Amino acid sequence: MIPVILSGGSGSRLWPLSRALHPKQFLNITAEQSLFQTTLKRLEHVMDGAVSPIIVSNEDHRFLIAEQCRALGIKPSAILLESIGRNTAPAITAATLTALALQQDELLLVLPADHDISDLATLKAALQQGIREAENGRIVTFGITPNKPETGYGYIRVEEKGTHTQAVAEFVEKPDIETAQQYLDDGRYLWNSGIFLFKASTMLIQLRKYAPDVLSAVDTALTGVSTDLDFQRLAPEAFAKAPDISIDYAVMEKSDIVTVVPLDAGWNDVGSWSAVWEIAEKDDYGNASRGDVILEATADTYVHAEHRLVSVLGLKDVVVVETADAVMVAAKDKAQDVKKLVDTLKKNYRSEATRHRKVYRPWGAYDSIDVNDRYQVKRITVAPGQKLSVQMHHHRAEHWIIVTGTAKVTIGDDELLLTENQSTYIPIGVVHALENPGKIPLEMIEVQSGSYLGEDDIVRFSDRYGRVTPLEVTPS
Whether 346 is covered by a domain: the verdict is: no
Whether 345 is covered by a domain: the verdict is: no
d(CA 304, CA 281): 13
Same-domain check for residues 190 and 60: yes
Q: Examine the fold and report which residue of 243, 268, 293 is the final residue of a domain before the chain moves on.
A: 268
Same-domain check for residues 150 and 199: yes
Same-domain check for residues 311 and 190: no
**pLDDT at site 473:** 41
Measured from the Cβ of residue 166, the count of other Cβ atoms closer than 10 Å reads: 14
H/E run at residue 69 = helix 62-72
**pLDDT at site 236:** 93
**pLDDT at site 456:** 82
H/E run at residue 263 = strand 258-263
Same-domain check for residues 254 and 322: no
Nearest to 192 by CA among 163, 139, 156, 164: 156
**pLDDT at site 468:** 54
CATH label of the domain that carries residue 170: 3.90.550.10
Same-domain check for residues 374 and 428: yes
**pLDDT at site 467:** 66
Question: Which residues are within 8 A (CB) of 390 and not within 5 positions of it... i.e. 6 or more apart?
Answer: 410, 431, 432, 433, 460, 461, 462, 463
Angle (nearest 5°) at CA 207 between 115 and 202: 80
pTM of the model: 0.86
Same-domain check for residues 260 and 291: no
Same-domain check for residues 460 and 389: yes
Same-domain check for residues 319 and 390: no
Whether 353 is covered by a domain: the verdict is: no
Whether 169 is covered by a domain: the verdict is: yes
Partners of 322 in the beta sheet?
305, 327
Q: Examine the fold and report which residue of 240, 268, 296 is the final residue of a domain before the chain moves on.
A: 268
Cis geometry, peptide bond prior to residue 90 (ω within 30 degrees of 0):
no
Question: What is each CA distance from 338 to 211, 283, 324, in whole angstroms?
Answer: 33, 25, 18
Question: Which residues are within 8 A (CB) of 418 and not within 5 positions of it... i.e. 6 or more apart?
Answer: 400, 402, 406, 407, 409, 424
Same-domain check for residues 124 and 82: yes
The tens place of each residue's pLDDT in the chain, 476 residues long, gives 999 999 988 889 999 999 998 999 999 888 889 999 999 999 999 998 888 999 999 988 988 999 899 999 999 999 999 989 899 999 999 999 999 998 778 899 999 999 999 999 999 999 999 999 999 999 999 999 998 998 888 999 999 888 899 999 999 999 999 999 999 999 999 999 999 999 999 999 999 999 999 999 999 999 999 988 889 999 999 999 999 999 999 999 999 999 999 999 999 999 899 999 999 999 999 999 999 999 999 999 999 999 999 999 999 999 999 999 999 999 999 998 999 999 999 999 998 999 899 888 889 999 999 988 899 999 999 999 999 999 999 999 999 999 999 999 999 999 999 999 999 999 999 999 999 999 999 999 999 999 998 888 888 898 888 765 444 444 44
| Inter-axis angle of helices 62-72 and 35-46, nearest 10 | 40
Structural domain containing residue 126: 2-268
Whether 351 is covered by a domain: the verdict is: no
Split into its structural domains, the chain has a count of: 3
Say if residues 365 and 382 touch (Cβ distance below 8 Å): no
Burial 58-78 (b: 16+ CB within 10 A, else e): bbbbbbbbbebbeeeebebbb
Same-domain check for residues 66 and 148: yes
Q: How many CA atoms lie within 13 A of 385 on its CB side?
A: 1
Same-domain check for residues 208 and 98: yes
Q: Examine the fold and report which residue of 248, 268, 288 is the final residue of a domain before the chain moves on.
A: 268
**pLDDT at site 471:** 41
Whether 149 is covered by a domain: the verdict is: yes
Whether 85 is covered by a domain: the verdict is: yes
Whether 182 is covered by a domain: the verdict is: yes
Same-domain check for residues 151 and 174: yes
Partners of 445 in the beta sheet?
379, 401
